[in-house]
Amino acid sequence: MRNSGVSHSAAGGHMRDDERVVREILIPALREDAWRAVTEPDGVAAWLGGDAVLEPRPRGTVRCRRADGTRLEGVVVSVTAPIRLVLLWAEARRGAAAEQRDPSGPRLAPELVEASRVEIVLLEDPEGTRLTVTESRVGAEGGWFLPATGPTSALAGAGS
């Protein structure tokens, strides 16, 4: 697996555009099969986690847990099967805490939380499919904040 995109300056300013993580993987499978694995429930459960949700359509819901149990919630921004999937998500940490305090109350606190943009691109390769993931941090400078009330339609037009 290849890492790249570690391109920020220790001495420089807070360059949001450069805050990104890139991972590339070569999968020994046809692109259509890899796409199905990325987007269909069986595959989603395998790579995003057993209770994860990914609705592969614009404005579809994305929900999963990190290894440490924190929740990520977001929205699908654009889908170009079988090539490209773009989504926005953010940690629902505050929401989880609010939920514990009052399960019947609002699921997430009203604060705004920082979001990430995730782009997954699948390219055909002689040895299978080359899948590249780019996760970029988006914040006030980028104009994208994810309301902590969860995915909203207001986001769905952003970052396609």
Partner 1 sequence: MGPDDRPERGGPDGRVDRVFTALSDPTRRAVVRLLADGPATATELSERLPVSRQAVAKHLSALDEAGLVASSREGREVRYRLTPGPMAEVASWMAEVGAEWDRRLQALRRHLSR
Q: Omega of the bond prior to 41 within 30 degrees of 0, cis? A: no
Locate 18 and state its tokens. 């450069």
Least spacing, CB of residue 85 vs partner 1, in Å: 13
CB neighbours of 91 closer than 8 A, spacing ≥ 6? 66, 70, 71, 72, 113, 114
Cα 12 to Cα 3: distance, rounded to the nearest angstrom: 22
Q: Rounded to the nearest whole angstrom, what is the least distance from the CB of residue 150 to partner 1 in the complex?
A: 20
Indicate the burial class of 42 (C-beta count within 10 angstroms; 0-12, 13-18, 19 or more). exposed
Binding mask 95-134 for partner 1 (x = CB under 8 A): ---------------------x--------------x-x-
- Scanning residues 33 to 72, which ones bind partner 1 (CB under 8 A)? 33-34, 37-38, 42-43, 46-48, 66-68
Cα–Cα distance for residue pair 81/56, rounded to 1 Å = 9
Closest separation between CB of residue 32 and partner 1, Å?
12
Judged by the rule CB under 8 A, the positions of this chain that interact with partner 1 are 1-4, 6-8, 10, 13-14, 19, 21, 23, 25, 27-29, 33-34, 37-38, 42-43, 46-48, 66-68, 116, 131, 133, 135, 137
